[in-house]
Every structure is written in structure tokens, then in C-alpha cells.
């Protein structure tokens, strides 16, 4: 509960203080799961005039459990691919949301608004396919709640 309260305060502060959030980057280490799900959810729930992208500091490949978990909501991220943060034009980004929890979050160089959503690694401590999918569902649902709160804050700012 404390995490959600801090997030809501931070988001409201950013939005109420004139933070521009028209080009949002979701950032994590591998850009294989959490940031990919956040990108898909943001494209689905945020206004169409907001540009959404994701990247990682050590990009790998799209996780199939992330694809499955998102498909359960009717959101197709199967064409997404992992991207390196250094390949992005930092001048086009005005808000960065990091999604790491246990690991060290990547750094984004640039003058941007910064938010942090500490989402646990979905595969941590899980071995069977059902356990893995459940971990990704949990992460997806946490990210979805953050996205919906962000959408609400942004709509109030307009």
C-alpha cells in the first residue's frame, strides 16, 4: 500500500508541476518483460497523442511469458523487440519510468521527468511454466494499475 501512495504522490507532483509527459520511455535492464508489458499497456490505456517506447541497458529478447500474460488482456506485444537505451534519441524523451526492483536500475542521461515503479522480476523464484506465467500476471497487473493511475493524472492535467 505504501508503494502505491508514494507513486500517486509522485505522479501527481510531476503532472501538477507542469511535467511534460508526451513521450514516455519505460526502462529496465533487459527490455524483455516489465518494460515491454508497460509499453503495451500504455499504448492501450494512455491517450493516443502520447508516444510510448521501451528500452533496456542490456537488451535481450522478448519474453514469451510477457507475451502470454498480455494476450490474456487482449493486448498483442508479440511484434515488440528489445531495444538498447543508448540507441534512442534522448532529446525526444520527456519522461522516463524505471521498472526495476531488485537489480540496479539503468541510467538515462537527459533532462527528463523521472518516475520509478519498483516491479519485482516476474520470473524470480519461479520454475514451472504455470508459476512463471503467474509471476508475469502479477507484474502485468501491478504495471496496469500504475498505468491507469498515470492515465487518470494526465487526464486531470489537460
| 83-133 pLDDT per residue, tens | 999 999 989 999 999 999 877 788 787 789 999 999 999 998 899 999 999
Query: pTM for this structure?
Result: 0.87
**Per-position DSSP letters for 70-133, written without gaps between them:** HHTTT---TT----BGGGS-GGG--EEEE--SSSPPPP--SS-EEEE--PPPTTTT--SHHHHH
Q: Considering the candidates 55, 100, 119, 154, report the single residue annotated as catalytic.
A: 100
Quick one: what percent of the chain has pLDDT higher than 90?
A: 72
Q: Considering the candidates 14, 19, 28, 133, report the single residue annotated as catalytic.
A: 28
Q: Considering the candidates 73, 88, 101, 105, report the single residue annotated as catalytic.
A: 105
Amino acid at each position: 500500500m505504501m508503494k502505491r501512495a508514494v507513486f500517486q504522490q509522485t505522479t501527481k507532483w510531476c503532472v501538477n508541476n507542469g511535467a511534460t509527459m508526451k513521450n514516455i520511455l519505460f526502462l529496465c535492464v533487459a527490455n524483455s518483460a516489465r518494460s515491454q508489458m508497460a509499453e503495451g499497456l500504455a499504448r492501450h490505456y494512455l491517450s493516443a497523442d502520447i508516444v510510448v517506447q521501451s528500452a533496456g541497458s542490456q537488451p535481450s529478447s522478448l519474453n514469451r511469458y510477457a507475451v502470454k500474460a498480455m494476450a490474456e488482456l487482449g493486448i498483442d506485444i508479440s511484434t515488440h523487440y528489445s531495444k538498447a537505451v543508448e540507441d534512442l534519441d534522448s532529446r525526444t524523451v520527456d519522461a522516463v519510468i524505471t521498472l526495476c526492483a531488485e537489480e540496479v536500475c539503468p541510467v538515462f542521461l537527459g533532462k527528463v521527468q523521472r518516475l520509478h515503479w519498483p516491479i519485482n522480476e516476474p520470473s524470480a523464484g519461479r520454475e514451472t511454466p504455470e508459476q512463471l506465467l503467474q509471476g508475469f500476471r502479477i507484474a502485468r497487473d501491478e504495471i496496469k494499475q500504475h498505468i491507469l493511475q498515470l492515465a487518470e493524472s494526465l487526464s486531470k492535467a489537460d
